[in-house]
Amino acid sequence: MADAKVIPFDDDRSRGGPGRTAKGRPAGGRRRTEGAGGRTGQEDRGAGQTPLAAVPGPEEPGRAPGARTEAPEAPVEEEAPPGEGRDGRESREGRDDWDRRIAEGLAFLRRRITGEYEVDEFGYDADLTEHVLMSVLRPVYEKYFRVEVLGIENIPSEGGALVVANHSGTLPLDALMLQVAVHDHHPAQRALRLLAADLVFMLPGVNELARKAGHTLACAEDAQRLLERGEIVGVMPEGFKGLGKPFSERYKLQRFGRGGFVSTALRTGVPIVPCSIVGAEEIYPMVGNLRTLARLLGFPYFPVTPTFPWLGPLGMLPLPTKWTIQFGEPVPMDDYPPEAVDDPMLMFNLTDQVRETIQHTLYRLLVRRRSVFF
């Protein structure tokens, strides 16, 4: 024990390895020379310890004895894919969107308080419709019914036009979705002025809201004044006959009246744009009609559906069907002479032409539809 020799832990002489003798001397019998401070020359180069890259590892097949083993490269972090928020872009866009919404909301409140907004002679409040009513209807349009719009380019970018559409669904949600479609998808974001039945303007609360949303009474005089001003006017000639028809007659158009909308279009010379709506028929499948109760309440019908009135207010929730709205090619009216409005045969032919166009388009849309809900 007295002759034992203490070997430093980091001295390479304590290790065997390729190119060294069993006692730790370099191959060839040469001794390690001491450098300044008592360190070996190898220690002077490595700051006291052997670099990891120089430490010989286990020999691999095909590797020369004593060859240097390269240190593994550090993994390179992949660049964050765009749109996932790792670089903060998504969060910045979200903040900018919320800042814009808050600024628009504050500006809207300021206009309402100071009275800096306009209401036309029909009661239409464009500012309220744009910032409140459309904001309420848009999630229903985009997320619930997932409306697909086709042929929006058939609505003119300027000047008047009469949009004629089918009507269904027990409650007139199709009219509201049609209004959102024209506003949001048309390049000029045109406002659709809907013609509504007398009952709409007799219901408390609904009357005022309908006026502010741009709806007006379904009469020839009001429609003509709007068209002469260059507005887009929407009409659903089936009326309550289409809205309250039983589910067994879905997508079968009812009578289009006596052609009053054709007369209005001829007088003003604006084109008629046929419109077909698929999806509204199934939101409230009407399987019955309590006629006696409807007469007592003053309604044209009182619907019975698979969920209403059995589930109470919950039964009034519409089914989330998938909608498609297609605007057809315009039917020009400016080619006819002014006296054409007095020709009953022409009125009948034009009315039937528009009705048949809408009906055939409905059939085509139903054929291409994969499912009621998808």
Q: What string of pLDDT tens digits covers the 374 residues of the chain? A: 444 444 444 444 444 444 444 334 444 444 443 443 444 444 444 444 444 344 444 444 444 444 454 544 555 544 545 545 555 676 777 788 888 889 888 998 999 899 889 999 999 999 999 999 999 999 999 999 999 999 999 999 999 999 999 999 999 999 999 999 999 999 999 999 999 999 999 999 999 999 999 999 999 999 999 999 999 999 999 999 999 999 999 999 999 988 899 999 999 999 999 999 999 999 999 999 999 999 999 999 999 999 999 999 999 999 999 999 999 999 999 999 988 999 999 999 999 999 999 999 999 999 999 999 98
Residue 269: is it exposed, middle or buried by C-beta count within 10 angstroms (0-12/13-18/19+)? middle
pLDDT on residue 35: 40
In a domain, 326, yes or no: yes
- Residue recorded with tokens 């158009």: 253
In a domain, 289, yes or no: no
Q: Are 325 and 348 in contact (CB under 8 A)?
A: no
Domain containing residue 138? 105-283+318-368
- Residue 124 is encoded by which pair of tokens? 């239409």
The two counts, helices (H) then strands (E), for the chain are: 11, 9
In a domain, 182, yes or no: yes
In a domain, 33, yes or no: no
Task: Measure the CA dihedral 226/231/232/236, to 10°.
Answer: -10
Q: What is the DSSP string of 205-223?
A: THHHHHHHTT-EE--HHHH
Give the span between the Cα atoms of 217 and 207, in whole angstroms.
10
Helices (DSSP H) in 6-77: which residue ranges? 41-46
Give the span between the Cα atoms of 23 and 15, in whole angstroms.
9
In a domain, 63, yes or no: no
Nearest CA to 277 among 230, 304, 243, 248? 243
Q: Are 321 and 282 in contact (CB under 8 A)?
A: yes
Write the single-letter amino acid at 75. P
pLDDT on residue 276: 98
Q: Are 16 and 22 in contact (CB under 8 A)?
A: yes
Helix H or strand E encompassing 360: helix 344-368
- Residue recorded with tokens 């390269």: 70
In a domain, 161, yes or no: yes
Number of domains into which the chain is organized: 1
- Residue 118 is encoded by which pair of tokens? 């306009």
| DSSP character at residue 229 | T
Give the span between the Cα atoms of 232 and 118, in whole angstroms.
19
In a domain, 311, yes or no: no
CATH for 332: 3.40.1130.10
In a domain, 156, yes or no: yes
